[in-house]
Amino acid sequence: MSDLSISIVLYNNDKRMVDEVVRSCLESTITPFVVIIDHSNDDRFTYFSDNKRVAYYRTHNNTGFGSGHNVALKKYEVLNRYKYHLVLNPDISFSSEVLSELVSYLEVEKEVGAIMPRIANLDGTLQFARRLLPKPTHILMKRLRPQSALAKEYEIMDMEPKKPVEVCGLCGCFIMFRCDVLSKAGLFDERFFMYFEDFDLARRVSLLSKVIYYPGVSVMHAANREHRRSLRLLYFLISSAIKYFGKWGYIDSARDKINSKAIEQIKKSL
């Protein structure tokens, strides 16, 4: 069984950005198996079909973020062939040692089922991608008043861990999973076309193992938050939020316990 596979789902992305994330993967000190699932409605990425170092599959149909990653996991039998799998956004870049350090951590910490590194903006500042599990009021205030106390609480703005901690609310732009745990937890819930599928999956993984935020290494994320400018993406955000809270509960005592534990661990790590 090999160590690491990676899936990247594309939809009409910037070619330079996609080339950079693929370069980051292929120039890593650990050699991963890279799968590109192309949902694009044009042929801008078909040149990857000639690249012997990646597996390229064009769907001709945009079925969503989680669905695209599920295609990679199923079509290439990832869960049976690899120990770890990285779900990766096409707008990420990272240095050569990042993947090997995360894999090394998982090799030692056998009880960890999912891990996310520090996510940084392009200028190096912290991106608040590690979050508490959301309450409906968190989502509302983050949208309407991003500097409010509730929005800051949700994004844990006032505290950044200095060592690995259990934080269940991880951003799907870069999450590495232990494949045997992912096999038990299940794949992405395809009812979520976009948004909240990452929280949903990380939470299911947390029922079986630890979900860890690992600030020891950073990756760069060129997040452009298009849902703030696109009514179509805002619709997907609202639709997914309704599905998420319908699934896990608007009133959720388990969420409150998980969040309290995360805050307690973060305070100890400062």
> Which domains are present in the chain?
2-269 (3.90.550.10)
Instruction: Please give the pLDDT value at position 226.
Output: 60
Which residues are CB-neighbours of 270 under 8 A, at least 6 positions away? 159, 160, 161, 162
Nearest to 122, CA basis, from 25, 218, 215, 221: 221
Cβ 156 vs Cβ 131: under 8 Å: yes
Instruction: Please give the pLDDT value at position 123.
Output: 94
- Helix segments in 8-76, DSSP class H: 15-26, 65-75
Cβ 194 vs Cβ 233: under 8 Å: yes
Which residues are CB-neighbours of 51 under 8 A, at least 6 positions away? none
Residue in the structure block whose two tokens are 């819930």: 189
Q: How buried is residue 213: exposed, middle or buried, by Cβ count under 10 Å (0-12/13-18/19+)? A: buried
* Helix, coil or strand: residue 157: coil
Instruction: Please give the pLDDT value at position 231.
Output: 85
Cβ 63 vs Cβ 39: under 8 Å: yes
Q: What is the DSSP letter of 91?
A: T
Instruction: Please give the pLDDT value at position 232.
Output: 87
The crossing angle, in degrees rounded to 10, of helices 65-75 and 197-206 is 50
**Predicted confidence pLDDT, tens digits, the chain (270 residues):** 579 999 999 999 999 999 999 999 999 999 999 999 999 999 999 999 999 999 999 999 999 999 999 999 999 999 999 999 999 999 999 999 999 999 999 999 999 999 999 999 999 999 999 999 999 999 999 989 999 999 999 999 999 999 999 999 999 999 999 999 999 999 999 999 999 999 999 999 999 999 999 999 999 999 766 655 678 888 999 999 999 999 999 999 999 999 999 999 999 998
Nearest to 241, CA basis, from 194, 205, 203, 206: 194
Cβ 266 vs Cβ 166: under 8 Å: no
